[in-house]
Chains A and B, each alone.
Chain A
Amino acid sequence: MMVKIQIDGTYYDVKPGKNLLETCLALGIDVPHFCYHGAMGSVGACRLCAVKKFRDPCDQKGRIIMSCMEPVNEGLIVSVNDPDAKMFRAAILESLMINHPHDCPVCDEGGECHLQDMLVMTGHNYRRFDFKKRTHFNQYLGPFISHEMNRCIQCYRCVRFYDDYTGGKDLAVFGSHDHLYFGRGEDGILESEFSGNLVEVCPTGVFTDKTLKEHYTRKWDLSNTPSVCVHCSIGCNTIAGERYGKLRRIMSRYNGAVNGYFLCDRGRFGYQFVNVENRIGEAQIRTSKNSNPVEATPDMIASACAEALSGSKKIAGIGSPRASLEANFALQKLVGKENFFAGVSRTEHTLAKTAIDILQHEAIHSPSLKEIEKADAILILGEDLTNTAPMAALAVRQAARNKGIEVAGNSGIPPWNDYAVRLKAQDVKSPIIMANPFSAKLDEIAEKTYRAAYSDIARVGFAVAALINDGAPGVKGLSKEQLSMAQHIANALKEAKNPMVITGTHGGSEDMVHAAANIAMALFLHGKEGALSIVFPECNSMGLGMMDGKPFEDLAGLPADSTCDTLVILENDLYRRADQSLIDDLLERCKNVIVLDHLITGTTLKSDILLPVGTFAESEGTLVNNEGRAQRFYRVFPAEGTVIESWRQLKELMIFSGNHESASWENFDHVAQAMSDSIPAFAKIKGHMPGADFRILNEKIKRQTMRFSGRTAMNAQFSVSEPKSPVDPDSPLAFSMEGANETPPSSLVTNYWTPGWNSNNAMNFYLDEPNGSMKGGDPGFRLLETAATKHILFFAPVTGAFTPEAGEWEIVPAYQIFGSEELSSQGPAVAERIPEPFIIMNRRDAEEAGVKEHEMIDLTLTRSSLQVKLKIDDNIPAGVAGLSTGLPGMPFLKLPESGRVKNSKK
Chain B
Amino acid sequence: MEHNNIINHPQFVKEGKQVSFKPETLKKVQDLMKRYPEGRQKSALLPVLHIAQEELGGYLSVDVMDYVASLLGLQPIEVYEVATFYSMFYLDKMGKYVIEVCQTGPCALSGGEQILAHLQEMLEIMPGETTSDGIFTLKTVECLGSCGTAPVLQVNTDFHEKLTPGKVDKLLEDLREYAKHDKSDDSTWVEKFC
Contacts and interface: CB of A to CB of B under 8 A. Distances in A.
**Do A and B come together as binding partners?**
yes
Interface of A: 134-139, 169-170, 172-177, 179-181, 183-187
A181 B8 CA distance: 9
A176 B85 contact: yes
A206 to B, nearest CB: 13
A181 B3 contact: no
A790 B63 CA distance: 66
10 contacts: A137-B3, A169-B75, A174-B81, A175-B5, A176-B86, A177-B142, A183-B7, A185-B76, A185-B77, A185-B80
Q: Which of B5, B86, B142 has the most CB atoms of chain A within a 10 A radius of its CB?
A: B5
A136 B85 CA distance: 16
A770 B76 CA distance: 36
A184 B80 CA distance: 10
Contacts of B185: none
B173 interface: no
Contacts of A185: 7, 75-77, 80
Contacts of A174: 5-7, 80-81, 84-85
Given A175-B84, A176-B142, A135 B77 contact: no
A173 B81 CA distance: 6
Interface string B8-23: 1110001000000000
Nearest to A170: B77
Contacts of B142: 176-177
A172 B5 contact: no
Contacts of B182: none
B77 A184 contact: yes
A136 B3 contact: yes
Q: Which of A134, A169, A181 has the most CB atoms of chain B within a 10 A radius of its CB?
A: A181
B164 to A, nearest CB: 26
B123 to A, nearest CB: 21
A596 to B, nearest CB: 49
Q: Which of A135, A136, A184, A186 has the most CB atoms of chain B within a 10 A radius of its CB?
A: A186
Given A175-B84, A181-B5, A184-B77, 6 more contacts: A137-B5, A174-B81, A176-B86, A181-B84, A183-B7, A186-B8
B78 interface: yes
A134 B127 CA distance: 14
A172 B78 contact: yes
Nearest to A173: B81
Contacts of A180: 5
B4 interface: yes
A138 B10 CA distance: 11
A180 B84 CA distance: 9
Q: Which of A169, A185, A186 has the most CB atoms of chain B within a 10 A radius of its CB?
A: A185
Contacts of B85: 174-176
Contacts of B7: 174-175, 181, 183, 185
B24 interface: no
B177 to A, nearest CB: 33
Contacts of B86: 176
Contacts of A175: 5-7, 84-85
Contacts of A173: 81
Nearest to A175: B84
A784 B55 CA distance: 67
* 3 cross-chain pairs, A with B, having the tightest CB-CB distances, nearest first: A185-B77, A174-B84, A174-B7
Nearest to A187: B8
Q: Which of B14, B75, B81 has the most CB atoms of chain A within a 10 A radius of its CB?
A: B81
A139 B85 CA distance: 19
Nearest to B75: A169
Contacts of B77: 169-170, 172, 184-185
B158 interface: no
Nearest to B76: A185
B121 interface: no
Contacts of B87: 176
B2 interface: yes
A173 B85 CA distance: 9
A169 to B, nearest CB: 6
Nearest to B83: A174
A173 B7 CA distance: 10
A745 to B, nearest CB: 45
Contacts of B4: 134-135, 179
Interface in B18-56: none
B81 A172 contact: yes
Nearest to B7: A174
Q: Which of A177, A180, A184 has the most CB atoms of chain B within a 10 A radius of its CB?
A: A177
A189 to B, nearest CB: 14
Given A169-B75, A176-B142, A177-B142, A137 B8 contact: yes
Q: Which of A138, A172, A173, A175 has the most CB atoms of chain B within a 10 A radius of its CB?
A: A175
A812 B141 CA distance: 56
A145 B77 CA distance: 19
A135 B3 contact: yes
Contacts of A183: 7-8
A92 B10 CA distance: 32
A179 B81 CA distance: 13
A138 B4 CA distance: 13
B83 to A, nearest CB: 8
Nearest to B12: A186
Contacts of B6: 174-175
B81 A136 contact: no
Contact of B2 (A135, A138, A186, A187): A135
A187 B14 CA distance: 12
Nearest to B65: A185
Contacts of B81: 172-174
A137 B80 contact: no
B107 to A, nearest CB: 14
Nearest to B104: A177
Interface in B158-177: none
Nearest to A137: B8
Contacts of A135: 2-4
A170 B86 CA distance: 20
Contacts of A187: 8
A665 B78 CA distance: 61
B45 to A, nearest CB: 14
A445 B163 CA distance: 52
Contact of A136 (B8, B75, B78, B80): B8
A135 B8 CA distance: 12
A248 to B, nearest CB: 29
A836 B69 CA distance: 30
Interface in B103-144: 142
Q: Which of B3, B84, B86, B142 has the most CB atoms of chain A within a 10 A radius of its CB?
A: B84
A139 B8 contact: yes
A185 B9 CA distance: 11
A139 B8 CA distance: 7
A178 to B, nearest CB: 9
A179 B76 contact: no
Interface string B62-98: 0000000000000111101100111100000000000
Nearest to A176: B85
A179 B1 CA distance: 11
Nearest to B85: A176
A773 to B, nearest CB: 37
A137 B9 CA distance: 6
A427 to B, nearest CB: 9
A134 B85 CA distance: 17
A180 B85 CA distance: 9
Nearest to A159: B81
Nearest to B78: A172
A769 to B, nearest CB: 34
Contacts of B14: 186
A581 B85 CA distance: 62
Contacts of A134: 4-5
B78 to A, nearest CB: 7
A492 B85 CA distance: 41
Nearest to A147: B8
A429 to B, nearest CB: 14
Nearest to B8: A137
Contacts of A138: 8
